[in-house]
Amino acid sequence: MWQGSGMKTRGNEAGIDRRAVLKGVGLAAVSAVAPARVFAQPYSPTEQHRRLLDVAKEQMERVRAQLWRTDVVGVADFALPSSLPRLHFADLEKGEVRSFLVAHGKGSDPEHDGFLKRFSNEPNSLATSRGAFITYEWYKGKYGTSIRLGGVDPDNTNALDRAIVMHPAWYANTDMLAKWGKLGRSDGCFAMGEADFNDALWHLSGGRLLYADRLGIG
């Protein structure tokens, strides 16, 4: 009895606390199994995005009375070539920008080198128009579900008569860049890649603003 008691005493003198050891092992096991908590990083706009948000807000305020929705503004920067994402969806409520490829019209780029040379509001010009457009309803057209556009500036008053719309197109898909280094050309419409166009349907249609110009915000 005395020896057993002595062994217990020597164990305690060595500082061994079995309950503490087991508790530590258990915590280590839980730590190894439990996934680390991942916290979402706040969105930090780049200088390009800040400038685009400023343009979007300025143009939205200019034509606010004609818009039905003011949360998202489309900004097409045709100073950039068609090989770069130059159609920007500026979310004014969240302060975020997402960018997509977009084609311009044949009449704006007769040589088809990927750069817009001129805007036009003339019928049969096949050219892209500049200025503020209001997005209307969806409709089924040659390229599937598309978005009608109404021009609200002197430079695009013929948009409805010219059937200038937003639509998906195979010639605006990203694989065109790998093959040709540029997108194909539209008849003056804002043609987006087929995989991207749902973003326009859900986030830019229904009385929002689409603004087009040479901005050079790269």
Backbone angles phi, psi at 88, to 5 degrees: -110, 130
Q: In what order do the strands lie in the sheet containing 96-100?
A: 96-100, 87-91, 72-77, 209-213, 131-141, 144-151, 165-168, 190-192
Provide mean pLDDT across the span 82-93.
Answer: 98
Residue 90 has pLDDT above 70, yes or no: yes
Average pLDDT, the chain: 86
Q: Are residues 149 and 68 in the same domain?
A: yes
The total number of structural domains in the chain stands at: 2
Asked if residue 147 is part of any domain, the answer here is yes
Residue 94 has pLDDT above 80, yes or no: yes
Residue 115 has pLDDT above 60, yes or no: yes
Q: Are residues 75 and 178 in the same domain?
A: yes
Q: Are residues 66 and 166 in the same domain?
A: yes
Q: Are residues 20 and 85 in the same domain?
A: no
Sign of CA dihedral 186, 192, 197, 201: negative
Q: Which of 50, 55, 63, 53 has the alpha carbon at shortest distance from 215?
A: 55
Residue 8's pLDDT band (cuts 50, 70, 90): very low
Q: Are residues 123 and 203 in the same domain?
A: yes
Any bridge partners for residue 210, and if so which?
A: 74, 133
Q: Are residues 75 and 104 in the same domain?
A: yes
Q: Are residues 26 and 111 in the same domain?
A: no
CA–CA gap between residue 115 and residue 105 (Å, rounded): 10
Q: Domain range for residue 8?
A: 2-33
Q: Are residues 13 and 100 in the same domain?
A: no
CA 80 to chain centre: 17
pTM of the model: 0.80
Asked if residue 39 is part of any domain, the answer here is no
Higher pLDDT, 134 or 1: 134
